[in-house]
Chains A and B, each alone.
Chain A
Amino acid sequence: SQQGEEDPQALSIQEGENATMNCSYKTSINNLQWYRQNSGRGLVHLILIRSNEREKHSGRLRVTLDTSKKSSSLLITASRAADTASYFCATDGNNFNKFYFGSGTKLNVKP
């Protein structure tokens, strides 16, 4: 991808379980964001974490950021079938208004 990689590429879990996906990026950043995309649709913003933050929560989402390792993780707790989607991290490459996306993780939550 233009900026980074995510793992795993695909993740299949049962409803109620937690899902963790990881993002690694290549350059310094101002912030890192996570987006969700249902199949063939537009992307929806989930959460933003700034480079001086280490952890952030929003509802069932928990994001961590380690700038020394150039990596981030997204945890979705108590997953639901409706969480089935692709999840992408996005970074700005330390350049305002220049957002690059990671390779994505395809999450399947089985009811």
Chain B
Amino acid sequence: DTEVTQTPKHLVMGMTNKKSLKCEQHMGHRAMYWYKQKAKKPPELMFVYSYEKLSINESVPSRFSPECPNSSLLNLHLHALQPEDSALYLCASSQTGSTGELFFGEGSRLTVL
């Protein structure tokens, strides 16, 4: 199984809502990532988890809260977002210990009204 599964595929939320994006992989990868991608732009790194511990936070606003409950799951909790946070949120995983390929999910398209 070389898949990274993201849910939901589409999410519309108001600025006062609380929602979560979910990501799951069963490849035994111990590094997991959240990227944000605006239209016609490259993916921008947000967070990296290594062995279920947050290792990189690219100065992301606190209204985005990542969580890694176990080695297969990665969540992104969303609260009090702004319309400019509307984007495609991509989850990825990779093996740790050496720089290797990233396996991406299909993304969750978020619209903040």
Chain A residues close to B by CB (< 8 Å): 1-2, 30-31, 33, 35, 40-45, 48, 88, 90, 92, 96-104
Contacts and interface: CB of A to CB of B under 8 A. Distances in A.
Interface residues of B, number: 30
Contacts of A90: 102
Contacts of A102: 42
Contacts of B100: 48
Contact of A2 (B44, B55, B94): B44
Contacts of A44: 104
Contacts of A1: 41-42, 44
Interface in B50-87: 50, 55-56, 58
B21 interface: no
Given A40-B109, A97-B50, A45 B101 contact: yes
B104 A43 contact: yes
Contacts of B45: 2, 98-100
15 contacts: A1-B42, A2-B44, A33-B102, A40-B88, A41-B106, A41-B107, A43-B104, A48-B101, A90-B102, A97-B96, A97-B99, A99-B33, A99-B45, A101-B44, A103-B42
Contacts of B104: 35, 42-44
